Amino acid sequence: MSLEQAQINRYARHVLLPEVGVAGQEKLLAAAVSICGKDVQSVAAAIYYLAAAGIGQIDCQVDDAGGFGALAAEIQDLNRDVCLTLADGRHCAFRVIMGPPDYVAQKQALLLTAFVPTVLSLYHCWQGVQLVASERGSLLGFLAKLQAAQGDERAPYGKDEGGAVFSRCFLNALSAVEVIKLVLGIGGPTTEFLHADLLSMEFAKVKTEGGAAALQAFCALVPTDCQAGKSSGGKVLIVGAGGLGSPAAYALALSGGGTVGLADYDTVELSNLNRQILHSESRIGMAKVASAACFLKRLNPRMDVKQYAVRLDAKNAAEIIAGYDVVIAAVDNYPGRLLLNDACFFAGKPLVEAGATGFDGTIRTILPRQGPCYRCSNAALSDDTPLFRTAPGVFGPVPGVMGFLQAAEAMKLLTGVGDVASERMIFFDGLFSEFCTIKLARNAACPLCGAHPHLADFQESGFAHPGGAEEKE
């Protein structure tokens, strides 16, 4: 097959990546993937990202198919190149299985009947475990460890105990990264256990010999030890309704009520749809905040979604931010990040900042006057720095991974549970499924929060730059 011009426009951000290109995108469109889960909602995010990326055939195998019709309609509107069906996946060359430990353990017969390379993703409370079984032996070894970790008396795992909304969403996007890499034959799969603890924001690869102990500890988590506090009155502002803002808003909508504000002056374009899962073909040309609100209100009618179809600047940023408890920066340029950093500093609002380009992502949380700000670690930047945007190519599910982590950070700030990624930055290498963390410290020479600051208030920090703060892709 060969890509038509409309498909090249749709998948432009993938085609620009040397590891994908036109040939890789054609391979994705010809691929068939099976995804298994307890119910439709538990695998929906992975399906959105697989469909957005152009996986041609997706077979959904779930115990409870309630809501599948609505999901299938949304997938058709997101990407008409994709066929989503309720099927057993017997003709699929790749599989994703997603669920709490007991669900995955119960699927042993399915997994072993006809082996195909499989992405195994287990979530429980704020934690998750992932393994890519690219051959039958590794799958058998994992299942044996899982059975032993479950023990003889297996307590049922609740649907969304504690932070399971966030660990589940995170693993959905991470699973999409892994299965697309398998289809393309690029990068390095997670052949060792990847253990993610979103409550502490710690990520580690566990060697095979330590896998049994890691699984046992994971399965033994007690929900009451990791419950999120009540956040029904929490208010989160997301600046940018694109690749990062979409997953952040999605996860917050699933987590309950509260208020989410969306600030973005852009409109939906076809090239957005390989990663911006809140939008669709039928809403091309619509303001992104309005398009996102349509999706979120269907997902959670109880959520209050406020729309700001404006460019954040020195005139309006302080006023808009004042009404929120937490700000998520989902922008793609330096002036926008600096504006939000300074506005949140003077307003005393925590800022969850992330970025994604190519196969890579970063995330950090900035606590005003308690740790380093964005200027501290970017001393070379100034208000006069030319507008910078990330590289044009981006692997669709990577901003999903980072945006879901931003939502988890925001929820922890609202509820007071866990440790946020303050005074550190987390790097994600999606091509080789690696997370690493570096420590950050306040810069004594920082003009905003250093020993002798010379920016006395937000107005003095400038920002007449035309780049604005929204993510415009």
Say which CATH number the domain at 43 has.
3.40.50.720
**pLDDT reading at 219 higher than 90:** no
Mean pLDDT to the nearest integer, 113-118:
90
The residue among 171, 188, 221 that closes a domain is: 221
Assess if residue 410 is contained within a domain: yes
CB proximity list for 452: less than 8 A, separation 6 or greater: none
Mean pLDDT to the nearest integer, 109-133:
90
Whether 209 and 255 map to the same domain: the answer is no
- For the segment 1-15, what is each residue's pLDDT rounded down to a tens digit? 689 999 999 999 999
- What's the domain count of the chain? 2
Domain range for 447: 235-461
Question: Which one-letter amino acid corresponds to residue 47?
Answer: I
Question: Which one-letter amino acid corresponds to residue 156?
Answer: P
Assess if residue 7 is contained within a domain: no
**pLDDT reading at 416 higher than 70:** yes
Whether 290 and 195 map to the same domain: the answer is no
Contact indicator for 403, 354 with CB cutoff of 8 Å:
yes
Residue 387 confidence class, pLDDT cut points 50, 70, 90: very low
Q: Name the 3-class secondary structure at 337.
A: helix
The structure tokens 């670690």 sit at 377
pLDDT value, residue 1: 66
Q: Walk across the sheet containing 57-64 and list its strands.
A: 83-86, 57-64, 32-39, 94-99, 118-124, 127-133, 193-197, 202-206
Assess if residue 378 is contained within a domain: yes
Whether 243 and 337 map to the same domain: the answer is yes
DSSP H or E run through 129: strand 127-133
Whether 245 and 204 map to the same domain: the answer is no
Whether 397 and 456 map to the same domain: the answer is yes
Whether 253 and 330 map to the same domain: the answer is yes
Beta bridge partners, 425, equal 438
